[in-house]
Amino acid sequence: MGILMGVSQRKPFCPCDPPPSNISCPPPPSSSSHNATHQRAETEALVHGIHRYTPERDRGSQMGILYSEPMCQAAYDDDIRKLQEMISADSRNVNAQDDGTGDTPIIAACRRGNLRTVKYLLGCNANVSIRNKKGRTCLHYATRRTFSFLDYLMIAILMPILLIGYLIMEEKQRKNVKLMELLLTTKVEVNAVDYKGNTGLHYACQRKSQRIIPLLMEKNADVSVQNKDHETPLDIAKRLQFHKIVTMLTKSM
């Protein structure tokens, strides 16, 4: 169990690229506006249903991290009821750290992209500046959010079916953007470096997160920080040939 913390050095396939401009949903089988509305509703219901019943959600921590700290496990599992119980018992639990990873509940929630749990923890005054044993804050994990193998599989299978795969991809990207926007309203340190010397901007560039990078830049993310491999975020974008990101970063210099 556990999660893969490394970053591939090869240019990864990334569904973050916008679809061709000529893509459009196929017309409904009937010209009736009622049928068109009904079809859209069925498509949206299917997309949300897929998210609701994925094995990852049903199995909870079996497919991810097992924490020794109950607060972190509840945050990772998106279990707000358990969080409420433990914080009600002792408000200091909101910043409890796991013995193994050093993660706090808000770091655990950001690892999984649990937006509602992050909102709840921030409302309980969670400390966004605490670092885990890898020197990472919750912002690092928000910028490291990417598609899982299951996501790629669903997108590949469902893309031909009324572009449902594309809708899933868009929903996940919007959720990641909302998570980042939420964290950037706090006092989180945008240019914090981890044990590899990476900032959130380094990871956003590695993952070709074209929607996240402008948000970081608006908060004065430093494009000149070198990690322990002596690479800046711009160096990474150039190496991976992410030309749009190179343009974004160059304009800010």
Q: Mean pLDDT of successive 10-residue segments in the chain (253 residues)?
A: 42 47 40 44 42 36 79 98 98 98 98 96 98 98 73 58 63 88 98 98 95 96 97 97 96 85
Distance CA 92, CA 83 (A): 12
Nearest to 126 by CA among 147, 113, 110, 145: 110
What secondary structure does DSSP assign to 106-127, as a single string? HHHHHHHT-HHHHHHHHHTT--
Give residue 161's pLDDT: 63
Burial bucket for residue 41 (CB in 10 Å: 0-12, 13-18, 19+):
exposed
Give residue 158's pLDDT: 59
Distance CA 181, CA 15 (A): 21
Q: What are phi and psi of 164, to 5 degrees?
A: -60, -40
Give the domains, in start order, of the chain with CATH numbers: 34-146+176-189 (1.25.40.20), 193-253 (1.25.40.20)
Give residue 172's pLDDT: 77
Distance CA 158, CA 150 (A): 12
Give residue 2's pLDDT: 44
